[in-house]
Amino acid sequence: MASTLEDTLFSPPVIILGVFGYNNKLSEKDLHDLLLLVLQECAHVPTRILLPSEGNTSIYLQEWAESLHIKTQVFHSNWVQNGKHAQWIREDRMQKECTHALVFLSKRSNRLEKYAEQLTKKGKIVFTSPCDPPHHPLLQRPQIPPSASASDCKSGKGTMHSFLQFRTKE
């Protein structure tokens, strides 16, 4: 007689969160609130966090991850050997391993904004944080339509795609 209940193994989803860019103006509390928003959106704690070696946000993120017993991996840039391309090489290594990405945008250029769009096109789940955060952290998730062509996705001159915005409530 066959059993109607079948045993199935539950394997939690593997979430590898890659952090791109940094924001030295973000306080530890605001970063903590931002991370809570990411956790709520992912619905699971990341298995591993990939961090750049520069920036205060990497230090805060590493301490936060260690307090939750999340493995971290720090990626260093070889500035002597690779020169100005060292950051791009490091980010390329990180994006190959991550399943989710948290991108801190810069107000000096839109390079990280374009990079977030590229990651979204590659199937990664991407969250962005603005360069000048308000009092409450803002988490944005780029939404690129599947039928968008490469020329439609350029984000210069005010043609930025709409974002879903998640704010914390007081």
pLDDT attached to residue 166? 40
Classify residue 55: in a domain, yes or no. Answer: yes
Classify residue 101: in a domain, yes or no. Answer: yes
Classify residue 13: in a domain, yes or no. Answer: no
pLDDT attached to residue 142? 58
Q: How far apart are CA 104 and CA 116, in angstroms?
A: 10
- Residue 9 has phi, psi (to 5 degrees) of -90, 135
For the record, the structure tokens of 101 come out as: 């990405």
Classify residue 4: in a domain, yes or no. Answer: no
Overall domain count for the chain: 1
For the record, the structure tokens of 165 come out as: 């915005």
- Tens digit of each residue's pLDDT, the chain (170 residues): 555 566 677 777 889 999 988 777 777 888 888 888 888 888 888 999 999 888 888 888 899 999 999 999 999 888 899 888 988 899 899 999 999 999 888 888 888 888 888 898 888 899 888 766 554 455 556 555 554 444 444 444 443 333 344 444 44
Q: How far apart are CA 47 and CA 165, in angstroms?
A: 25
Classify residue 82: in a domain, yes or no. Answer: yes
- Enclosing domain of residue 68: 29-107+119-145
pLDDT attached to residue 112? 84
Classify residue 112: in a domain, yes or no. Answer: no
pLDDT attached to residue 133? 56
Global model pTM greater than 0.85: no
Classify residue 167: in a domain, yes or no. Answer: no
